[in-house]
Chains A and B, each alone.
Chain A
Amino acid sequence: MNYVIISLYLAGMVALGVAGYQYGTKTPDDYFLAGRRVGALVTFFTLIATNFSAFFFLGFAGAGYRIGYSYYVPMAFGTGLVGVAIILIGDRVWRLGKRHGYITPPELVGDRLGSVPLKIVFLTVMVVFTLPYLALQPIGAGYLLAQLSGGAIPEFAGAVLLTVIMVAYVFLGGMRSVALTDVVQGAMILTLMLLAVLVIGHALGGIGEANRRVFALEPSLFSRAGRGDFYNARTWFSYMILWFLAVPMFPQVFMRFFIPKSSLSLKVSASLYPLVTAGLFFGPVIIGVWGHLVFPDLAGTTSDQILPMMMADLAPPWVSAFVMVGALAAFMSTMDSQLLALSSMITRDVYVSFFNRDASVELQVRVGRWLVVILSLIGLAIAYQPPDTFFAIVTEAFTGLAVLFPATLAVLYWRRVTAAGCIASILAGEGALLGFRVGWIPEALGFGFLPLVPIITLTTVTLLALGRWRGAVPEPAVVGRPRIS
């Protein structure tokens, strides 16, 4: 039964990939951005499916188990604030992209200030913090497939199989295929998480009853600060702003601001985003909290497996298989978008900008396609034996990308911004992140906040200090852009 469900899902993804291909992918605009003609519903689903990775299924439940209900709030409210970020960043990026033909985030940021060095710095940060993330995704996907097959499919073989299918539809249809699969994957994430909560809640005697039993067993899971006082006022504040700053700077999310057909798509997405996080994010956290009723003594990261363990223990096998395919969908919807985002940036901002400025539109698409293959092979090679530094980079990826937020905002809105200020701001932020990570900067300088807060303060101050405070504001130069259509 499990094999039938997995096969149907994977065949459906390939079919959607082929459908995306048939609508035409002959120009970079078309291949990387679906021709900027994506409607409201698809924009909404592609934004949520891209952002909600398998961490939503597995990591949230694990954290719910370890921390309790308080984990729900910074994740749901913090991510809900992405709706405001869509107003602030998304709308302006969409308008500029439509008017000037930008395809990648570094292209937009560098071009607005006429600065190639800024474009390179922006690109480097996005690649450095996205590539290891991409490389580690197949590990989790392989693990899920091994679970679903009862161990019959070894983890690495599962990682290879899923990567091959994902590469097939990204290779064929680019953003159009990715967006189409995102609609199905997003719908699966929403419905299957709801199904998981209802089935497990029913097995535990009802949702209210399950909560009362957990409270009697471990009341700290219901406390405001979380189990073991996980949050204090300062870390709470830090987590509340983290997603607002980081999510729009994920290259795969940033690029989605270029794709809508009209501003209506962004308006709908921004309005619905907080509603989705309000409801959906309860699911895995609740299941994690309930995990104490069935598996009371899980330690450390073993608790990240609480959702599959609960499903295996309390749900009929076919329901369990469906829900785990939902987790697989969450994995794939994030990884395919990262793959396409990295491919587009390397094609446009490296290959075309520095090696072949006269590349035809057909050649750009061809290069983009083969980069999808090459990047996935790199990902698999790293997944086979990931170096420790990769785990460290992934741990810091959110803060590392959030460092780009002040410079991006300034480029979009502030007339006195300078390229030097943006570059210094980004380098100062990444330097401080490294300093906190390796201990060159004492933890005390974080003043009890997560490093994110002093780092963003530093980047903002640097940006402002190097603004063009004297004289008239000159018109920014425009770096010649490669062809897009």
Chain B
Amino acid sequence: MSPRGRRAIWSAIFLALFVLSLDYWRWDERVRFGPLGLPSWSLYFVALLVLLSGAIAVFARTDWEGDGEEPPASEPAP
């Protein structure tokens, strides 16, 4: 896959995680309790943040440019 295609996929993944943080569909649900008596919806966000961290880590390993690599052509030349 082209670098542009991979960038589009990663953008979609990060955008999806952001959209999942706007969980308006369950704002009126009755409060349930998770471990330590915390509201279960707060643990949903802990899970989202762990996913976000994992996504960034995978991106860093697979698609983040190395030290010596030039930035993509979109950067204005000095």
Q: Which residue of the partner chain A has the closest CB to B14?
A: A84
Chain B 14-38 interface 0/1 with A at a Cβ cutoff of 8 Å (1 = within): 1000100110101111010101111
Let me know if B57 is at the binding interface, CB within 8 A: yes
Contact A270 B45, CB 8 Å, known A207-B36, A211-B37, A478-B78: no
Contact across chains for B21 and A263 when beta carbons are under 8 A apart? no
Let me know if B3 is at the binding interface, CB within 8 A: no
Q: Once the chains are docked, how many angstroms separate the CA of A92 from the CA of B14?
A: 18
Number of interface residues of A (CB under 8 A): 57
Contact across chains for B49 and A80 when beta carbons are under 8 A apart? yes
Interface-located stretch among A163-171, A215-223, A379-387: A215-223
Let me know if A437 is at the binding interface, CB within 8 A: no
Contacts of B53 in A (CB 8 A): 80, 83, 271-275, 278
Let me know if B71 is at the binding interface, CB within 8 A: yes
Contacts of B27 in A (CB 8 A): 224-225, 233
Q: Which residue of the partner chain A has the closest CB to B27?
A: A224
Q: Which residue of the partner chain B has the closest CB to A88?
A: B14
Contact A236 B77, CB 8 Å, known A275-B53, A278-B50: no
Question: How many A-B contacts are there with CB distance less than 8 Å?
Answer: 125
Contact across chains for A263 and B67 when beta carbons are under 8 A apart? yes
Let me know if A23 is at the binding interface, CB within 8 A: no
Provide the main secondary structure of the chain A interface: helix
Q: Once the chains are docked, how many angstroms separate the CA of A415 from the CA of B20?
A: 32
Partner of B39, one of A84, A222, A233, A271: A222
Q: Once the chains are docked, how many angstroms separate the CA of A425 from the CA of B66?
A: 33
Contact across chains for A274 and B65 when beta carbons are under 8 A apart? no
Contacts of B42 in A (CB 8 A): 69, 72-73, 282
Chain B 41-76 interface 0/1 with A at a Cβ cutoff of 8 Å (1 = within): 110011011101100110110001111000100111
Contacts of B33 in A (CB 8 A): 211-212, 215
Contacts of B50 in A (CB 8 A): 274-275, 278
Contact A76 B29, CB 8 Å, known A212-B37, A270-B56, A415-B76: no
Contacts of A279 in B (CB 8 A): 46
Let me know if A412 is at the binding interface, CB within 8 A: yes
Let me know if A297 is at the binding interface, CB within 8 A: no
Binding site for B on A (CB under 8 A): 69, 72-73, 76-77, 80-81, 83-84, 87, 91-92, 95-96, 99-100, 112-113, 207-212, 215, 219, 222-225, 233, 236-237, 240, 262-264, 267, 270-275, 277-279, 282, 412-415, 417, 473, 475-476, 478
Binding site for A on B (CB under 8 A): 14, 18, 21-22, 24, 26-29, 31, 33, 35-39, 41-42, 45-46, 48-50, 52-53, 56-57, 59-60, 64-67, 71, 74-78
**A-B CB contact pairs (8 Å), 14 listed:** A69-B38, A80-B49, A80-B52, A83-B52, A87-B64, A112-B76, A112-B78, A222-B31, A224-B28, A267-B60, A271-B60, A274-B50, A415-B74, A475-B77
